[in-house]
Structure 1
Amino acid sequence: MTEALRWRLIAGLGNPGKAYENNRHNVGFMVVDALAARHGMRFTKMMNHGLVALGEIAGARVALVKPQTFMNDSGTCVGPVAKFYKVAPADLLVVYDELDLPFGQLRMRPFGGAGGHNGMRSIIPRVGGEGFPRIRVGIGRPPGRQAPRDYVLDDFAKDEVPTLDEMFGKIDAGVLRWIGEGLDKAMNLINPKPAGKPARPDAATSTEA
């Protein structure tokens, strides 16, 4: 497929409806909303049970999708939309919440399993396997004894909004890098850098006998 005809698809996962729009579980929706706002795209198209925004990012044709199927059935939307736009696995990017990453941390990977996330579990068999990029957005673990199921359906706190905005900006920069320079460069930008190893003592200056 020529570059002029090539589509990228970015799917943000969440649950539809006002009651869920600020939930931690809906951070995938929030990410694609932020991308749409930054790049002048609007969710005006309903397709395969998903809200779709079409436009260009970094000169490439991009479709943003928010499945309206509820989280656990996300694949029934993402799979057909990817097929319609003839999106190759490498050109599909899925963004979703991750309990096992601290709030504010991002992790981009080229492939992988569902990791216990029901939305991803629904998508993987409907797009031909695990070989597509994804960004996990850290929401952290619930405090105390709160059940994870209840925690993900809580709204983000007001004092968390600035960190969310920072994450959305970093994801936007990563998407630009993904489209323009490739996945490896995008991962280098988004993923946290490993802590540096302590410097080894110089044998020439050692004071040991």
Structure 2
Amino acid sequence: MHVIIGLGNPGTEYQRTRHNLGFYVVDMLARRWDIRLSRRTFLSLVGDGVWRGEKVLLVQPQTYMNRSGDAAVKIREFYHLSLSDFVIVQDDLDLPVGRVRIKRGGGGAGGNRGIASLITSFGSKEFVRVKVGIGRPPGRQDPADFVLQPFTRQEEASILPAVEKAADAVEMILTQGLDPAMAIFNVTSETSPQ
């Protein structure tokens, strides 16, 4: 089973914020794979199904960002999964708006409290992350405030293609493996993979 967890915050007040890009990508995958996110379990909104012959579980934790690990560890324990069965989709301040990057383990949370919660709950950094760039806040704006704001109109033009690209990255990880996906999506140019 593959578990794809999109990080975000529940509630309509957060629905269109930068910090909810993980939810956007899970919603996109749910549409592509014809999976309904309709069950409330594991402290999450969950949809399960089969994609290309593999069982998949799409997850949007309903714990708020800083407790995302609580939901993930419940899923891991219930299904007896290894960390290699998880793909985490997150927003990333250190990537330009719209850039997608894949990472396996290493490093820290990079200021993302959802990732910090996962590292604590899993007891390890060794899980796959699909990062979607939201850029840095302008001037001296507090990053914590910035991530909870909606995208500007200019940024919105880059967001849908980035969500599509992140969904493509998840699919490639599942079908071709992590290394081929990283070779395609971790390019330094701004061009989209074909």
Normalised TM-score (structure 2): 0.91
Cα distance in structure 2, aligned partners of 1:56 and 1:128: 29
User: Partner of 2:170 in structure 1?
Assistant: 175
Q: How does 1:41-80 map to 2 (within 5 A)?
A: 41-80=35-74
Which consecutive segments of 4 or more residues in structure 1 shift more than 6 A?
Answer: none
User: Partner of 1:13 in structure 2?
Assistant: 7
1:98-141 Cα distance to aligned partner (Å, 9 max, x none)? 11111111110111221221111111132231111101111001
Are the counterparts in 1 of residues 130 and 170 from structure 2 also a CA contact under 8 Å?
no
Query: Is 1:108 the equivalent of 2:108?
Result: no
- Between the aligned residues of both structures, percent identity stands at 42
RMSD across aligned positions (CA): 1.6
Are the counterparts in 1 of residues 7 and 23 from structure 2 also a CA contact under 8 Å?
yes
User: Partner of 2:149 in structure 1?
Assistant: 154
Cα distance in structure 2, aligned partners of 1:147 and 1:115: 15
Normalised TM-score (structure 1): 0.85
Could you tell me which runs of 5 or more consecutive residues in structure 2 were left unpaired when the two chains were aligned.
none
Are the counterparts in 2 of residues 47 and 81 from structure 1 also a CA contact under 8 Å?
no
| Structure ID, larger Rg | 1
Are the counterparts in 1 of residues 37 and 45 from structure 2 also a CA contact under 8 Å?
yes
Quick one: which amino acid aligns to residue 49 of structure 1?
L
Count of residues in correspondence between the two structures:
189
Higher mean displacement: 44-53 or 173-182: 173-182
1:38-65 Cα distance to aligned partner (Å, 9 max, x none)? 1111111111211111112232111011
Higher mean displacement: 162-171 or 62-71: 162-171
Quick one: which amino acid aligns to residue 29 of structure 1?
F
